[in-house]
Amino acid sequence: MRFWDSSAVVPLIVRQPRSVQADHWLADDPDVVTWTLTLVEIVSALRRLVRERKLTEVTARQAEAVASDLSGHFHMISDIDRVKALACRALRLYPLRANDALQLAAALAWADGHPEGLMFHTLDERLAHAAALEGFAIQDTRRK
């Protein structure tokens, strides 16, 4: 079982340069753990790709349906109060955006205070650095 940030899930849904890497991660361990609001972040990413004209509206809607279906198979971290407290702590310690702090906090809640050796998948280098400092195992996030 591994924690997946939304930045690592999006390439599973729409083909991107990092899709092969995300596919390998999923093949290595198909038990995905995510934050309960990851689907919202995925839809946000898809909408950004539409605005940037990297996805058509039709493709984005299809991708949203795939994301919704996939998320039904994920293990969701939904302890809002615990995640909020851990996210506030993360924001004091690391230069993260709020959504990234919430992702890290959800992973910390999942790890129950013992992240050592647990895998955290993200394609965001700043979030990967913070997760590594917390003790999570991180695979190389640089473009390949």
* Residues comprising the chain, all counted: 144
Work out the mean pLDDT of the chain and round it to a whole number: 95
Domain that residue 31 falls in: 2-134
- Classify residue 140: in a domain, yes or no: no
Q: What is the CATH number of the domain that holds 64?
A: 3.40.50.1010
- Based on the structure, what is the number of domains in the chain? 1
- Classify residue 66: in a domain, yes or no: yes
What φ, ψ does residue 143 adopt, rounded to 5°? Answer: -60, 140
What lies within 8 Å, CB to CB, of 6 at 6+ separation is: 34, 35, 38, 41, 42, 45, 99, 103
- Classify residue 143: in a domain, yes or no: no
A 10 A CB-CB count for 29 gives 11
Helices (H), 1-117: 6-13, 19-28, 38-51, 57-71, 80-93, 98-111
Q: Which amino acid is at 65?
A: A
- Classify residue 82: in a domain, yes or no: yes
What lies within 8 Å, CB to CB, of 37 at 6+ separation is: 102
pLDDT exceeds cutoff 50 at 53:
yes
pLDDT, one tens digit per residue, over 64-120 is: 999 999 999 999 999 999 999 999 999 999 999 999 999 999 999 999 989 999 999
- Classify residue 141: in a domain, yes or no: no
What lies within 8 Å, CB to CB, of 68 at 6+ separation is: 39
Q: What is the pTM of this model?
A: 0.93
pLDDT at 18: 93
- Classify residue 112: in a domain, yes or no: yes
- Classify residue 16: in a domain, yes or no: yes
- Classify residue 115: in a domain, yes or no: yes
A 10 A CB-CB count for 53 gives 7
